[in-house]
Each structure stands twice: as C-alpha cells, then as structure tokens.
Amino acid sequence: MRPGVPAVKRIFILPTLITLANAFCGVLALSKAVDALVYAPEDPGLFYRKMEMACLLVFLGMVFDTLDGWVARLTRGYSDFGAQLDSFADALTFGLVPAILAKVLIEHEASVCGYAIPARIGFVALASFALMAILRLVRFNLESESADKSHKASFRGLPSPAAAGAVVSTIWLYLILRKPELEIAEGTPTPFSRLMHWMEVVEWGPALNLVPLALVVLLPTLGMLMVSRLRYLHATAFLGRARSHFFTLVWLVFAVFLFFLAPVPILFLFFNGFVVLGLAAPLVVAVRERSATT
C-alpha cells in the first residue's frame, strides 16, 4: 500500500451485494429504455413492453434498497464504504433512471399525443430531477451523523426513492392505459385489465395526451421537493415501530390483496399520495394552530 493512502476497511459482503443489486437494476433499466427507442420503429408494441420492464426494475431496486438497510442492521454491517455505495446506487436508480425514462417517454409519445415538446425543455426537466436527487443524497449524508435521531422518524425533503416512485408509477400507469394488452398475466387478462375493459365507454385519449406534458412539470417539481425542508414521514421506520389495534393488521392484509389485484394503480396512488401528504401537512398544522389561537 502506498504511504499516505488510507486503507479501505473490511467490507461487509451481504449488505454490499444487496446494494449492488439495486445499482444493477438501475443499469438494466437504462438498458431497457435504450432498447425501447432502438426497436420502436421496427415493433411499436415492443417500446411499451421494454418501458414497462424498465419501470418494474426501478421498483425492484427499491426492494433491494430497503433490504440492504435491514440486513446491515441485523448483521451490524454498517460501514462508510456501504454508506457511500448506497448513495451512488440511489443516485443512479432513483435519480438518473426515472429522469431518463420520463425523457424517453416524452420523446417517443410526442407524435402520438399530437404536440411536440422542445428537446431543450425536456432535457432541463430531466437534469433538474437528476441533479436535485444527487444534491439531496449528498445533503443527507452530511446531515445523517449530526441528525441521526431525526431521520429515524422523518426526512427533511422528499426522499429520492419516493420521488422516483412518483415518476415511474405515473409512466407505468400511462403505459398500461395506452396499451391495455400489457395487463395480461399467464395468458389471461388481469383484474385491472378487466376493469379497463368495463371502462371503455370513457374516452381516455385526451387525458393520456397530457401525461408527457405533465411529466415535464412533475420532474422539476419533485426535484425542488427533494431539496426542500419539508418533513416527510419515514414510512419503513413507522411501520416497524407502529403498534395499533388488531383490525389495523386486518386492513393491512386486505391492502396487500388489493395491491395484488391492481399493483400499478396502487403504486401510483401510494407514491403520488405520499408526495401530496408532505405538501399538505404544513398547511394542516398551520390551520390547526390558527384555529387554536382564535
């Protein structure tokens, strides 16, 4: 070892491998997005299938991102190396990948929706989300040592996985509404596909045509929320400590059943509802304080 170069301490293998699995999902999702654009002229339906797989990989990355923390706590496998690797993996899977997926969708669907979004506008939207996600992760790393207890209950700013979930679930819901044939499992339509069949009397085209434009607005908005000081609940820690009545558990079980029947709409409602909840919480507190003083 060269003099003056600090040695890397021992690496905990299992948490590190799980974190790398998160990063691998991000890289594979990017590959699927590139494939979607390459093969779109030859097979338009392949674009939607590749993009759907990319969305699924982002959510799979979230599973690994949650697991690496749990495994590190169970095995006492915390290390500076693991913390840095986790931030790099999150910056990729929850910062760059959702922005790229949104940009790919915007570029491809512009002709379908009947309007064109300037390329520079789309790039600025992409860059604002990705760069704010990186800034948020850097700030979190710097604050985590001095404010570790506060992070156990809530986050300052929208967490990057939640922001990614809001973007990717919106893209995924758009894909299955635009191409209902994606909602087929083992050769049969899913329950949500059957529901869409019943709703064919509704003309979804005008609303779907606004989604690419909405993503252009959503990306920088979520980027600003990530670097904001708004408090967002630490959902995983809350569930781990929560104690409630027996029927709360029953409702959670039925919520899992509902997710099994219609995962994409539930993901869309959950992540976008989480974003709105953080925005609404300060207003609710302000109204309560005002009513208490009057």
The pTM assigned to this predicted structure is 0.86
Q: What are the pLDDT digits (tens) for 177-230? A: 888 777 776 556 666 665 666 555 566 667 888 999 999 999 999 999 999 988
Residues in the chain: 294
Please report, for the chain, the start and end positions of each structural domain, with discontinuous segments joined by +.
13-293
Q: What are the pLDDT digits (tens) for 239-281? A: 555 556 677 778 888 888 888 888 899 999 999 999 998 888 7
Q: What are the pLDDT digits (tens) for 132-183? A: 999 999 998 887 655 454 455 677 889 999 999 999 999 999 998 888 777 7
Backbone angles phi, psi at 231, to 5 degrees: -85, 130
Q: What are the pLDDT digits (tens) for 65-92? A: 999 888 877 877 677 788 889 999 999 9
